[in-house]
Amino acid sequence: MTTTAPHAAESTPSAPVAPVAVSAADVLEWTSLLIEGVVPLSDRALVDVLGALEQLKAAACAAQAQAAVDLDVMERDRQAFAGIPAQRRGLGVGSQVGLARRESPYRGRVLLGAAKVWATEMPHTFRALRHGRLSEYQAIQLVQETACLEREDRAEIDALLCADLASLDGLGTRRLVALVRQHAARLDPAAVVKRARKAESERCVTLRPAPDSMTYLTALLPVAQGVAAFAALCRAADLAAAVGDQRGDDAMVSPAAPRSRGQVMADTLVERLTGQVRADEVPVTINLVISDSALLGSGHEAGHLSGGGVIPAQVARELAAAGIATDAAWLRRLYADPGGNLVAMTSRSRFHPDGLAEFLRIRDQSICRTPYCGAPIRHIDHIARAGSGGETSAANGEGLCVQCNLVKEAPGWKREQVDVTRSSGRSEARHVVETHTPTGHRYVSGSPAAPLPAPHPESSCASDPEDAREAVGFASVVDISFRALVAEHELLVA
């Protein structure tokens, strides 16, 4: 593999794109060269290697895009042959792209969509990507920022910005996006306004985990409403500062310092949304999963809060304590085997489908079981179809997001539960599902490990079932009578 400085030979966008002449084996050979590492010949050579590798990354993204476009054509042909109606063809191709690229199905669809636009409507952008003058991220921005335009207007922006490859040198992503918006507003002002209206219809609120047991609650709002909401929180902070923050004098919260401006704004947001008098009186609701030793003792095993991700044992204990104080904490016991498989849950509705669905949501930690997919579970589904004899059980059940549940019904897709013997001692000896795609590829997904107490050194996996039963540990879901469990353990809570 050689590169010529500063850029590899450049083709013209009008020239037909040669079919990809490399195989996966070729690429893996180059990869093994890179794994060997870079020889630090001189500082100048190192900078050259940095630049050349960046060019290689962009070229690789362009090759991936071409492969995705070709795969889409082949899959649609195959689906047409299978009698799938035209409007339903193409289902699952984005998911295949995502799986192969170790990205979520959603991201796979975005990447496939951008690739199809580059190949059909934005040849100059595609060429700039192939030659490393644009990164994949920048090339996707060009697609997204021109999505509201007519095809010819998009083509004009493509040519204006990317026909001259040298003009892209030194252009940062923000400047590039600003240029696209300028041209779009000039070429089709009505489309830009229409796009703004459509954006308003996409207002929403999302929640995602943040570092240090925090979370981002994000609202996507029309600009005037967002500014108004923020101004209201600013006013609350100003008022607290003007009268002296009473809450800061409260020894229960902070014995000395008054709350900062940011803290007042965050507390006010929570109080106004939930109707609570105080933001920190959040009741513990369902799906805080934690080992008993961490909840009732001094164990350090992290817990898992549905929607909030992993939280340290101490934070989980504080949440539970806050729940007890307001009579809102409940406990339900989950049983897990030594491999970390959740195997049962005590519940009056234990054998009721609702109870099973809840158990599966907890086992899969509320995240879709498709590899790399991070979307929330929306459907509890049979892995082996009920119509084909699949039983309604925890082993044959899994949580899926809306899109993955749809894709699994597309022709050529199959999911099956795989028996991984616990004696293998492998970390993936949990509930394992294998996804088979139409191209014959297989992807494995193991359920996340349940929060369990750290094993005692003498308790190993026993071969005798009776002993194995002894070795079963348990985690808890905080949602049934907390006091009952405390009494059962004869523990006193101060």
Q: What number of other Cβ atoms are within 10 A of residue 16's Cβ? A: 6
Residue recorded with tokens 């026909």: 163
Q: What number of other Cβ atoms are within 10 A of residue 481's Cβ? A: 12
Q: Which is nearer to Zn ion, 108 or 299 (CB)?
A: 108
Radius of gyration of the chain (CA): 28
* Beta-bridge partner residues of 342: 336
Q: Which is nearer to Zn ion, 311 or 401 (CB)?
A: 401
- State how far the Cα of 78 lies from the Cα of 74, in Å rounded to an integer: 6
- Mark 27-42 as b/e (b = at least 16 C-beta within 10 Å): eeeeeeeeeeeeeeee
- Minimum distance from residue 379 beta carbon to Zn ion (Å): 10
- Minimum distance from residue 372 beta carbon to Zn ion (Å): 9
Strand blocks (E) in 297-378? 303-305, 309-311, 330-336, 342-345
Q: What number of other Cβ atoms are within 10 A of residue 493's Cβ? A: 10
Q: Which is nearer to Zn ion, 269 or 368 (CB)?
A: 368
Residue 73 phi, psi (nearest 5)? -60, -45
- Minimum distance from residue 404 beta carbon to Zn ion (Å): 3
Helix H or strand E encompassing 207: strand 204-210
Distances 297 to 102, 325, 340, 415, 452 between C-alpha atoms, Å:
39, 18, 20, 40, 13
Using CB under 5 A, list all residues that contact Zn ion: 368, 370, 373, 375, 401, 404
Q: Which is nearer to Zn ion, 313 or 404 (CB)?
A: 404
Give the torsion sign (CA, 86, 89, 90, 91): positive
- Where does 385-426 have alpha helices with state H? 402-407
- Minimum distance from residue 103 beta carbon to Zn ion (Å): 12
Q: Which is nearer to Zn ion, 236 or 373 (CB)?
A: 373
Q: Which is nearer to Zn ion, 104 or 396 (CB)?
A: 104
Any residues with CB less than 8 A from the CB of 430 and at least 6 apart, and which? 339, 340, 341, 420, 446, 447, 448, 449
- Minimum distance from residue 206 beta carbon to Zn ion (Å): 16
- Minimum distance from residue 413 beta carbon to Zn ion (Å): 13
- Minimum distance from residue 35 beta carbon to Zn ion (Å): 31
- Minimum distance from residue 70 beta carbon to Zn ion (Å): 25
- Minimum distance from residue 416 beta carbon to Zn ion (Å): 17
Residue 416 CA, chain-centre distance (Å), reads 23
- State how far the Cα of 358 lies from the Cα of 366, in Å rounded to an integer: 10
Q: Which is nearer to Zn ion, 230 or 413 (CB)?
A: 413
- Minimum distance from residue 367 beta carbon to Zn ion (Å): 8
Residue recorded with tokens 């600003």: 178
